[in-house]
Amino acid sequence: MKISFAEPALPAKGAVVVLVEENKKLSPAAKELDKQTKGAVKRAIAASKFVGKKGQLLEIVAPAESNLDRILLAGTGKDFDELEQQNLGGNVYGKLKNSGSSEATVIVDAGAKDLTVAAANVALGARLASYRFDKYLTKQNNSNEDGKPTLKAMKIGVAGAGAAKKAYGPMDKIADGVFFTRDLVSEPGNVIYPESLAEQCKELAKLGVKVEILDEKKMAKLGMNALLGVGQGSERESRIVVMSWNGAAKSKKPVAFVGKGVTFDTGGISLKPGPGMEEMKWDMGGSGTVIGLMKALAGRKAKANVVGLVGLVENMPDGKAQRPGDIVKSMSGRTIEILNTDAEGRLVLADVLWYCQDKYKPEFIVDLATLTGAIIIGLGHEYAGMFANDDKLAEQLFAAGTATEEKVWRMPLHDNYDKKIKSDAADMKNIGGRDAGSITAAQFLQRFVNKTPWAHLDIAGMAWSKEAKPTVPKGATGFGVRLLDRFVADNYEK
């Protein structure tokens, strides 16, 4: 969908969207529209339950003498903040996408102190909502609500359109990163596997990102047997991709993000149940977020030095596959007893985290992984689980999550949990039992970061959604890209 900005003016055709603040307070454009339609706006409000609350929409039939397709009233609520501005854009797009209108004009002239920023946020919300993954659909019924959208263009009318367009520029690049993540996570396992996902990362070189790929020979030489063990049952070779963006002084230490990239997870020899296994194509969601984040940061020319690392494997059952009871030596030199081959993500991250802290000596590391089903039991699909060895880092991530509506909730770490992964046969085991499963997984990861400030985000409940939200369609959410972009912008670009 094409998005543009212009000075505010009611259009002569297409759909028009005007704002109404809570308690039926019409914006200037809504008042003018009411005048032009001989009171149709006020009559429609009076005959409905619409009062201008956030999220409320009211469609009005355009007068016969008008060339407009339709009129849409959008409530701003009492506090038309950044997130509500984006949600309004998403809700408006959702209402109009299959309405039959090919173009729409949204007049942003009320509810916020800075209308140019509000207009940019409305545009961002509309763009985020417009995402579709339909490349494999050969037939689409345009009359169906799930059919190909008819809305092709949205114009945002606001006083100071040039300033609004400028404010939207970086947001548009962030949306590019979100869409890249959603695309990667949506692809099936026969299309996205370790080698092909590594190739996708090379696209970032066009934005100035340095991309380095470690193959299995390089990983074996480095002693990454924990990661290699996970992928040894697959015909697809494992990979690690390192993406570097240098937007600050060379003397400034990089910040690091690490993603779990299990491109398909059968569970290995500890085979998962058949029902629902098709969803395991998105077990690379953590890596998808890191890749999309690097695209967003490079796209908007972030003034920070950032390194993103993703460990890419496919976990398959085979005669060569890792067995329960096997013991492997990780890159750190520590040995791990494999009790369950479906607890594989932590093995991948163990070697990548160690490599990251040892080679790049970053200011901090944040890792993301669809790591445990247990986190969904604890937090549902509202919050990602956050574990951290550093209070400041945890507070910054929490604030960024609140600001972007990609929320994280801090979970505990404690020595008593760490004891649960003690092994009699090796330095540690890869599971600690059913109780506190997300916590013991985080305790396992913590062993591979040494003294580096670190946070682990368990995004198992957030990477994929079966319900649409105003700016997040069903399917791959792109969770974490906006969160981490805001985290970097607020704390490491000053």
Report how far residue 212's alpha carbon sits from residue 240's, in angstroms, rounded to the nearest whole number: 8
* CB-based contacts of 470, cutoff 8 Å, min separation 6: 55, 86, 87, 88, 90, 91, 94, 125, 129
Measured between its terminal Cα atoms, the distance across the chain in Å is 33
Nearest to 226 by CA among 343, 375, 319: 343
E strands in 316-376: 327-329, 335-337, 365-369
Residue 4's region, left for phi above 0, alpha for psi from -120 to 50, else beta, is: beta
Query: For 76, phi and psi rounded to 5 degrees?
Result: -100, -15
Catalytic entry in 346, 407, 429, 486: 346
> Are 485 and 396 in contact, with CB atoms under 8 Å apart?
no
Please confirm, yes or no, whether 482 is among the known catalytic residues.
no
Catalytic entry in 272, 329, 334, 420: 272
Please confirm, yes or no, whether 239 is among the known catalytic residues.
no
The 8-class DSSP code of residue 206 comes to: G
Q: Please count the residues of the chain.
A: 494
Nearest to 46 by CA among 66, 68, 26, 18: 26
* Cα separations in angstroms, 437 against 119, 275, 444, 458: 44, 22, 11, 11
| H or E stretch at 46 | helix 40-46
Residue type for position 494:
K
* CB-based contacts of 423, cutoff 8 Å, min separation 6: 336, 337, 429
Report how far residue 365's alpha carbon sits from residue 453's, in angstroms, rounded to the nearest whole number: 6
Report how far residue 385's alpha carbon sits from residue 232's, in angstroms, rounded to the nearest whole number: 29
E strands in 43-132: 57-61, 68-77, 103-107
Report how far residue 10's alpha carbon sits from residue 345's, in angstroms, rounded to the nearest whole number: 54
> Are 229 and 338 in contact, with CB atoms under 8 Å apart?
yes
Report the b/e string of 126-146 with b at 16+ CB within 10 A.
Answer: bbbbbbbbeeeeeeeeeeeee
Task: Report, as residue numbers or ranges, the catalytic residues.
Answer: 272, 346
